Structure 1
Amino acid sequence: MRKIVECVPNFSVGRDPDTIDAIAGAIKGVDGCRLLDVDPGYSTNRTVYTFVGDPESVIEGALAGARVARKMIDMRGHKGEHPRFGAMDVCPFIPVVGVTMDECVEISRRFAQKAADELAVPFYLYEQAAPAVYRCKLSDIRQGEYEGLAGKLEDPRWKPDFGPDTFVPEWGATATGARMFLIAYNVNLLATSNQAHRIALNLRETGRGEGSPGKLQNVQGMGWFVDEYDMAQVTVNLTDYKITPLHVVYEEVKKEAELLGLPVAGSEIVGLVPLESLLSAADYYIEKEGLFIYRENQKLRLAIERLGLNSIVPFRPEERIIEYITAEKPEEPLASMTTRAFIEEVASRSSAPGGGSVSAVCAAMGVGLGAMVAKLTYGVRKFENVQGHIQKVLPTLDSVTQQLIAMIDADTSAFNEFMDGLRMPQNTKEERRLRKEKMQNGLKTAIDVPLTTMRLGDLAWGPFEVIARYGNPASRSDTQVGAASLKSGIWGAYQNVLINMVDIEDGEYRQKTLEEAEKINQRAADKCDKVLSLLENRG
């Protein structure tokens, strides 16, 4: 599995396009780094950069940006709404794919060491990388901001983790470390900065201090006025969006604003956001408003509209959701072919694609027909009395169809793994052992893939019975063909399980797998008969 780390350095510059562009160019120029977002703020005089890469690349990308900041940013004249104490104010590393938090801690330490040595500036470690509890929170490290840093550096308790312990006026200091995904989120208010800050104090976890906590856990916040928007904002950092989600913050701000007679004018996300956080918001509004929405893109549209994320600039999911940006296009050469090209490829003088891929196609098309009939029933006025039944099965039919499409190429890939083992050398005892091990693993993969096709197809029989009972009667033949195709797809996948099982030497695996496959295959035959019978009885 590839390793992806996210890095979100915040630089104390938001009003100088040349410096902003120079930092962006330096990061983009590092091989292995992909710059995802540059978000400058004039009032905050701060720019948030978001980029991803493998562990080595993100270190070099962060270092490249820091080099430019060292040359082009001078903190002695810096002013802005956002708390800050350094030219590169903060530089967190976040695990995204195939990377642990411990690895990100090590990445932050290596970056801090390299940057401090090269640039001769102080670095503090925070969050998961912090060496002591009292300097774990960024707010504690940055307390007093740039103006109080010279005095802070004289305190032995605040000696930097890397770099000089003397004040570097043009730079200040930098905090770097490892943390979970943080969402920077602003709710817009037609209000004053004092009113916005009053709401923030009521909501943020620390509240007003002195034993007076706020309503929301894992929320840092304050209020300010943004001149370029001509609006105030409750600006928050969600340090754990699973504990306090986006929609909870938004709804709580609305409640507080209503008490003060203030209008809320949408919200904005600064930088990137995890897909789960927006889907969670969508699920909240779906339940609250009694809606039926199951497709991911429609859920996102709902969340964007309800949270008012288009209020300042258009929110484009493909540019702002971390999973969408970092996703690699699936390798599906067979599933991406035209129908003619796929059939001709099957008919060619080659053993792959073969029966396994064709079985996946049959199952996918069968379930797809079931989804089609459900969609031709849902929302039609004369079928209003069965809408509840259709709503329960439509998401499953749609989802299983998509999952079965992926199995078309998975089957061919599994066969290729076995063939790679077959081609391995067998001149020595060790080579023969490795070859046998590779081939046995390849056979298990070649079994697990069609077995997965069977399992997925098996999920559709319950929904098919519902479609047979309540589906649009004008699509009766489509339901019949769908059920028969699904049965054929499962039967074909079963035959692939059997033929690849012949040379399996693991007796326990063999028995367990065959028992499961036989049950699914028999159930397919029984369920298909039942679906066809239901259709016949409807007349």
Structure 2
Amino acid sequence: MKKIVECVPNFSEGRDRDVINAIADAISKTEGCTLLDVDPGKSTHRTVYTFVGDPESVIEGALAAARVAFKRIDMRKHKGEHPRFGAMDVCPFIPVAGVTMEECAKIAKKFAQRAAEALNVPFFLYEEAAEHEYRRKLPDVRKGEYEALEERLKDPKWKPDFGPASFVPTWGATATGARMFLIAYNVNILGTSNQAHRIALNLREAGRGEDEPGRMKDVKGMGWFVDEYNMAQVTVNLNNYHVTAIHELFESVKEEAAALNVGVAGSEIVGIVPLESLIMAADYYIEKENLFIYEEDQKVRLAIERLGLNSVAPFNPKEKVIEYIVAEPPDEPLASLSVRGFIEEIAARTSAPGGGSASAAMAAIGTGLGSMVAKLTYGVRKFENVDAHMRKHIPLLHDLTQKLIPMIDADTSAFNEYMEGLRMPRGTDEEKAERHAKMQAGLKTAINVPLTTMRLADAAWDALCEVARYGNPASKSDVQVGAKALETGIWGAYQNVLINMEDVEDEAYKSEILKESEAIEKRAREKCSEVLSLLG
């Protein structure tokens, strides 16, 4: 999975368009970064930037922005309504896809170290990157704001995590850290702002005060009336959608509104949202309503409909979901060919693509045929008695097919690491040792690709047996072809494991991999026979 990190730096400049644009340009021109949003505020004298990229790119983007701010912002002249203590006031890093919170904490620390060294200014770590519990919360780190910073830096307790413990008047200080994705979410109320606010008070974590906390954790909120919608809204920030999810907030607002005899008319997401949060909502409604939906785009559509996200403005997933905004076409030149083109590539006078890619393609065809027959059986009136079986196995066969397709191209590039080692210099004993180690590691990489194909294909057998047992009899030959294709794909991948294993010197590794691959190949023969016998 592609690693995506969101970075949301806040700069203490919300009025000078030249400065705002210069910072935006620095981010957008950083390779690997996609600038998603620029939100300046005149009264707060602050601009919030939102951009995404891979871990290394977001660090470079944040550094580029900090360099511009260092040259263009002078904190001695800054006044605004929003709390602040630095030119780049805060710079959080947020995991979006393929990245853990721990990784984002390391990203924040790496950014702080590099920025502090480059600019010679103080940086504090907060939230999940904090190394002291008393520095975890941003208000504690920023207490007293810019005006109190000079004296505060003299206190050893508030020595910066990176950079000098001295006051830099033009810059101040910066807090950087890692936190969960914050979702700005509004639920539409067909009532008054007072009623919306009553609901918000009942739900937000702070509630009505310490003696009367709200129902939902990590939620900030209030009620207001939006003239352009002619509706009230419960407007909230979901600080951690793993703690309180979008659908949980929406359903709770519906409960509170019903108690007040007030109608709910959908909701809206302000800004962008992680795909996972919508899939979580879809899974909730799928379970609640006993629906059968397994494809991602249909899950997203279900979430949009159940949450009423089109109620005040069209919700276009391609413009609102982070993963879709930054999506790039898959690097699958072989899998993207026509069937004719793929076969002609195999037939060409080149060593790749070869048997490994062909094996992955055959395995994918095998699971694909099983998936097809299961889908053709499900929902047909005369086969309703086997719907439960099809519901169970369709998602697995569909998913395995999608995972096997990329293995067609993965096999062709499997020897890249080995070839890199082969080209390494070997003039000295040290160079020879490094070259040898690289080549041995490359062989293991080359083995892992067909082994992965085997593992994925092997996971389909039980489902394929069930399709043979309960599937539409008119599709008997399709299941038969699927079983033989799956068996052949596994056998072909097994041969690739064996041929690449010959030069591996790690005997323990060889023994372990051979034992596993032999078991998968044997099971393929047995399971293929079982499928064929079930079909008669």
TM over 0.5: yes
| Counterpart in the other structure of 1:372 | 372
| Counterpart in the other structure of 1:271 | 271
- Counterparts of 1:181 and 1:130 in 2: how far apart (Å)? 17
- Counterparts of 1:238 and 1:90 in 2: how far apart (Å)? 19
Distance 1:215 1:43, change over 3 A: farther
| Counterpart in the other structure of 1:295 | 295
> Cα offset for 1:484?
0.8
> Cα offset for 1:527?
1.1
TM-score (norm 1): 0.83
CA contact (8 A) 1:267 1:309 kept: yes
Letter in 2 for 1:278: L
| Counterpart in the other structure of 1:506 | 506
Residue 322 (structure 2) pairs with residue 318 (structure 1): no
Question: What's the secondary structure of 1:189's corresponding residue?
Answer: strand
CA contact (8 A) 2:45 2:79 kept: no
- Counterparts of 1:421 and 1:409 in 2: how far apart (Å)? 21
> Cα offset for 1:190?
2.7
Letter in 1 for 2:459: L
| Counterpart in the other structure of 2:519 | 519
- Counterparts of 1:45 and 1:195 in 2: how far apart (Å)? 32
> Cα offset for 1:272?
2.5
- Counterparts of 2:42 and 2:189 in 1: how far apart (Å)? 18
> Cα offset for 1:468?
1.1
Question: What's the secondary structure of 2:407's corresponding residue?
Answer: helix
- Counterparts of 1:174 and 1:124 in 2: how far apart (Å)? 6
> Cα offset for 1:23?
6.0
CA RMSD of aligned residues (A): 3.8
Q: Which of 487-496 and 426-435 deviates more?
A: 426-435
- Counterparts of 2:29 and 2:295 in 1: how far apart (Å)? 38
CA contact (8 A) 2:83 2:145 kept: no
Q: Pairwise mapping of residues 53-452 of structure 1 onto structure 2 (< 5 A)? A: 53=53, 54=57, 55-61=59-65, 64=68, 91-96=91-96, 99-108=103-112, 126-128=126-128, 136-138=136-138, 177-452=177-452
- Counterparts of 1:435 and 1:157 in 2: how far apart (Å)? 51
Letter in 2 for 1:228: E
Q: Which of 327-336 and 39-48 deviates more?
A: 39-48
CA contact (8 A) 1:109 1:125 kept: no
Question: What's the secondary structure of 2:299's corresponding residue?
Answer: helix
- Counterparts of 1:150 and 1:407 in 2: how far apart (Å)? 55
1:498-527, Cα deviation, whole Å (9 max, x unpaired): 122222221111112111111111111111
| Counterpart in the other structure of 1:495 | 495
Q: Which of 480-489 and 224-233 deviates more?
A: 224-233
- Counterparts of 2:71 and 2:259 in 1: how far apart (Å)? 48
CA contact (8 A) 1:26 1:68 kept: no
Distance 1:112 1:257, change over 3 A: farther
Distance 1:219 1:105, change over 3 A: farther
Q: Which of 355-364 and 101-110 deviates more?
A: 101-110
> Cα offset for 1:480?
1.1
Distance 1:138 1:450, change over 3 A: same
Q: Which of 354-363 and 233-242 deviates more?
A: 233-242
Distance 1:184 1:137, change over 3 A: farther
CA contact (8 A) 1:116 1:163 kept: no
Distance 1:451 1:255, change over 3 A: same
Q: Which of 527-536 and 175-184 deviates more?
A: 175-184
> Cα offset for 1:351?
1.5
| Counterpart in the other structure of 2:476 | 476
> Cα offset for 1:51?
0.6
Question: What's the secondary structure of 2:185's corresponding residue?
Answer: strand
Letter in 1 for 2:107: E
- Counterparts of 1:515 and 1:452 in 2: how far apart (Å)? 15
| Counterpart in the other structure of 2:50 | 50
Question: What's the secondary structure of 1:100's corresponding residue?
Answer: helix
- Counterparts of 1:229 and 1:12 in 2: how far apart (Å)? 31
CA contact (8 A) 1:5 1:58 kept: no
1:305-336, Cα deviation, whole Å (9 max, x unpaired): 11122223222223332333344433211111
Distance 1:430 1:465, change over 3 A: same
CA contact (8 A) 1:371 1:397 kept: yes
- Counterparts of 2:24 and 2:228 in 1: how far apart (Å)? 23
- Counterparts of 1:132 and 1:366 in 2: how far apart (Å)? 55
- Counterparts of 2:233 and 2:12 in 1: how far apart (Å)? 20
Distance 1:266 1:88, change over 3 A: farther
Distance 1:231 1:11, change over 3 A: farther
> Cα offset for 1:295?
0.9
Letter in 1 for 2:388: G
Residue 506 (structure 2) pairs with residue 529 (structure 1): no
Q: Which of 200-209 and 297-306 deviates more?
A: 200-209
* Structure 1: gaps of 5 or more residues: none
- Counterparts of 1:206 and 1:454 in 2: how far apart (Å)? 53
Distance 1:115 1:505, change over 3 A: closer
1:113-161, Cα deviation, whole Å (9 max, x unpaired): 97896xxxx9986434568656643466789xxxx97987799599997
Letter in 2 for 1:307: L
Distance 1:424 1:153, change over 3 A: closer
CA contact (8 A) 2:13 2:73 kept: no
Letter in 2 for 1:271: G
TM-score (norm 2): 0.84
- Counterparts of 1:241 and 1:442 in 2: how far apart (Å)? 41
* Structure 2: gaps of 5 or more residues: none
- Counterparts of 1:336 and 1:247 in 2: how far apart (Å)? 37
